[in-house]
Structure 1
Amino acid sequence: MTEFLLKTFVKNYHQTENIEVRKYVGFLSSITGIICNISLFVTKYVMGTISNSIAIISDGFNNLSDCLSCFITLVSYKLAAQPADKDHPFGHGRIEYLSSLIIAVIIMLVGFSFLKTSFSKILHPEKVTFNLITVVSLLISFVVKVWMSAFNKKLATKYNSSIMLATSKDSLNDSYITLVTLSSLFISLITTLPIDGIIGCLVSILILKAGYEIIKDTVDTLIGTKADEETVQAITDLVLSYDDVIGIHDLIVHNYGPGKLICSLHAEVDSKRDMLEVHDTIDLIERQLHEKLNIMASIHMDPIEVDNPVVNKYKNMISEILAEIDPELSFHDFRIVTGPTHTNLIFDLVIPYKYQKDTKNLKNAIDNKLKEKDDTLFTVISYDTQF
């Protein structure tokens, strides 16, 4: 069904990074959500009123909030598709993340509202009327929400969209909520407990939980998270596929919204090579990163000594020491400065976050092991963080 809808309504839908394609995929997701959620809201509101069930009515208003979320999503895709301008040179892709945040806030407001109403139903319970039409309506609602979750998850995976993934999670939570609501109808037949209010509270808590999780994921993205391993590996593999590049370090990936990644890195090259030729290779790599991975790149060349036996000896020594202390440690920009009484080993040390507040003890551990091998050697270390 997902593939059919894409083929029918989205031209060139296979171009997953194309901003215009993403806009129309977003329109498809949003309009589908609006149609489904309005239908579910009307059905549940009518059935909830007939059966006098606050759990069903609250579930219906949850669908209405989803409808509003879909409308916000619709607007956000239109705004996010705007080209870069003087004030926003990196484009408007992050509007998707802001929209996810707005959706999450709406979800939580709905949750708080019905938590209050449901608690009131516990204190002042009313009889719930059971009928077959209501049961069938809730079962249909469950099936629709499961389909909506699967539909949006496929779109989120294909187009790397956080807002579609949030919609998918919300739809899946809604399907669970509908099942819980349905169960309250059956339980109310065999008990005098205020089960409708209790289930209503449970539904409200699930709604609040869904909103919190979306807020957390979205805020993490806006603050800035580590690039995913797949992207890092793809960049590394492409850069190292060129013979002029010996190694890379200081790779940083900036996310300016889905389909808008910018990276910077240092490429290690042989210092004996013609730098003009190597620079031409670096320019080619930057173009290839943009054409093949849709990543804008800025690459700094780091010339290093490759065939110096003295440098290689000390470099291997540091490698062995770091491997003994912690295999997660790595280093780059290694060079030496010799003198009549001692030799300085100068390098940048890439440390995991656990060492950020303990670099002094880490340096002492390295120095102590180095002294065991040669007491004329000293380290001069600059610390880098793992991005």
Structure 2
Amino acid sequence: MEEQAYLDLKRGERGAFISIIAYLCLSSLKIIVGFFAGSEALKADGLNNATDIVASVAVLIGLKLSQRPPDDDHPYGHWKAETVASMVASFIMMGVGIQVSYQAITSVFNRIEESPDLIAGWTGLFCALVMFFVYRYNKKLANEINSQSVMAAAKDNLSDAWVSVGTFIGIVGAQFGLPWLDPITAIIVGLIICKTAWEIFRDASHHLTDGFDQKELEAYKTTITNCYGVKGVKDIKARNYGNNVVVDVVILVNSQLDVKNAHDIASMVEDKLIKEHSVYDVIVHVEPN
């Protein structure tokens, strides 16, 4: 189980690398075309992608650190480095979102007399299609390896795709005598970036403070109560270590059982949770009933 968890982290690196390469290419394209075509929205979109490179590098570093084995300072391993990386990425994205919105608001009052060249719009649409395919790949990968940081990268990818679609709409609209629509779209770009950053921060902080989905906890409880010899579940808790789930449970068994039989029931509970729910580790405490 542990070996598979490390292999999943290695697979997650592939998604981070793909995001970095895509952002390098698309940010360069958007900033250059946006500059020559006079589009504030496309330049804002390109700036967003440029900082997404930093966020993706943070995710990659987090994935690599998570693969370190336990040591004296980290007896439980370095799994949470992946979640910390997601939080760092959210801070970077929030800073960019605020900056993009501020610059766009300024441009509304300072420069609304000219419409950007239509090539900027087609560039935005092309980039949106590229980012959508990157999003599909990273989302599929994140679900397969149950990686929070790769899913955060996928959400960022999808956000960028919608941002580029909005850029395209704003630039095309500006061709119909509404040049102010382009910087207005840039403001929306900034708000979308901030929204995505908040969602990633919310999920990462929830994991770091040992928050856990109650529906999943109920599913674990149902599986445990269906195990032979378990008379009830007195207490159950779960927490995340990166993409791994650790469960602590107190079960009730017949008070007449000897130590060996009680231990066998506890082992059965461990095996069931690991096999049916892909739980990384289970700590079972037995109490007589």
Shared fold, TM over 0.5: yes
Bigger relative contact order, structure 1 or 2 (CA pairs below 8 A, ≥6 apart):
2
User: What's the CA shift string for 1:170-227, capped at 9, x where partnerless?
Assistant: 1111111111111111111222552222111111111111111111121122112234
1:121–1:196 contact (8 Å) kept in structure 2: no
Q: Percent identity?
A: 24
In the other structure, the counterpart of 1:296 is 281
Kindly tell me the number of residue pairs found equivalent between the two proteins.
286
Determine whether 1:134 maps to 2:117: no
Counterpart AA for 2:235? D
Paired with 1:229 and 1:16, the residues of 2 have a C-alpha distance of 25
Instruction: Give the SS at the match of 2:231.
Output: strand
Instruction: Give the SS at the match of 2:79.
Output: coil
User: What's the CA shift string for 1:61-112, capped at 9, x where partnerless?
Assistant: 1111111111111111110011111211111111111111110111111111
In the other structure, the counterpart of 1:267 is 251
Displacement after TM superposition at 1:47 (Å)? 0.9
Instruction: After TM superposition, list the pairs within 5 Å mapping 1:44-83 onto structure 2.
Output: 44-83=30-69
Displacement after TM superposition at 1:142 (Å)? 1.0
Determine whether 1:94 maps to 2:77: no
Displacement after TM superposition at 1:120 (Å)? 1.3
1:80–1:95 contact (8 Å) kept in structure 2: yes
Structure 1: unaligned runs, 5 residues or longer: 1-14, 305-387
2:115–2:178 contact (8 Å) kept in structure 1: no
Paired with 2:267 and 2:131, the residues of 1 have a C-alpha distance of 48
In the other structure, the counterpart of 1:284 is 267
1:177–1:206 contact (8 Å) kept in structure 2: yes
Counterpart AA for 1:284? S
Instruction: Give the SS at the match of 1:200.
Output: helix
Displacement after TM superposition at 1:39 (Å)? 0.8
Select which of 201, 209, 231 maps to 1:215.
Answer: 201
Instruction: After TM superposition, list the pairs within 5 Å mapping 1:325-344 onto structure 2.
Output: none
1:286–1:298 contact (8 Å) kept in structure 2: no
Taking a change above 3 Å as real, the CA distance of residues 269 and 19 of structure 1, as seen in their structure-2 partners, is closer
Paired with 1:151 and 1:17, the residues of 2 have a C-alpha distance of 23
Determine whether 1:256 maps to 2:241: yes
Taking a change above 3 Å as real, the CA distance of residues 155 and 17 of structure 1, as seen in their structure-2 partners, is farther
Instruction: Give the SS at the match of 1:267.
Output: strand
Displacement after TM superposition at 1:168 (Å)? 1.4
Paired with 1:228 and 1:149, the residues of 2 have a C-alpha distance of 28
Instruction: Give the SS at the match of 1:18.
Output: helix
Instruction: After TM superposition, list the pairs within 5 Å mapping 1:142-157 onto structure 2.
Output: 142-157=128-143
Structure 2: unaligned runs, 5 residues or longer: none
Counterpart AA for 2:74? H
Paired with 1:262 and 1:197, the residues of 2 have a C-alpha distance of 48
2:12–2:147 contact (8 Å) kept in structure 1: no
Counterpart AA for 1:281? D
- Which protein has the bigger helix share? 2
Displacement after TM superposition at 1:59 (Å)? 0.2
1:240–1:247 contact (8 Å) kept in structure 2: no
Structure 1 segments of 4 or more deviating over 4 A? none
Displacement after TM superposition at 1:294 (Å)? 4.1
TM-score w.r.t. the length of structure 1 is: 0.69
User: What's the CA shift string for 1:89-139, capped at 9, x where partnerless?
Assistant: 1111111111111101111111111112111111111523323x4333222
Counterpart AA for 2:268? I
Please identify the structure whose Cα radius of gyration is greater.
Answer: 1
Displacement after TM superposition at 1:32 (Å)? 0.6
Paired with 2:76 and 2:209, the residues of 1 have a C-alpha distance of 16
Instruction: Give the SS at the match of 1:129.
Output: coil
Select which of 229, 249, 252 maps to 2:215.
Answer: 229
TM-score w.r.t. the length of structure 2 is: 0.90
Determine whether 1:166 maps to 2:149: no
The RMSD of aligned alpha carbons is 2.2
1:59–1:178 contact (8 Å) kept in structure 2: yes
- Which protein has the bigger strand share? 1
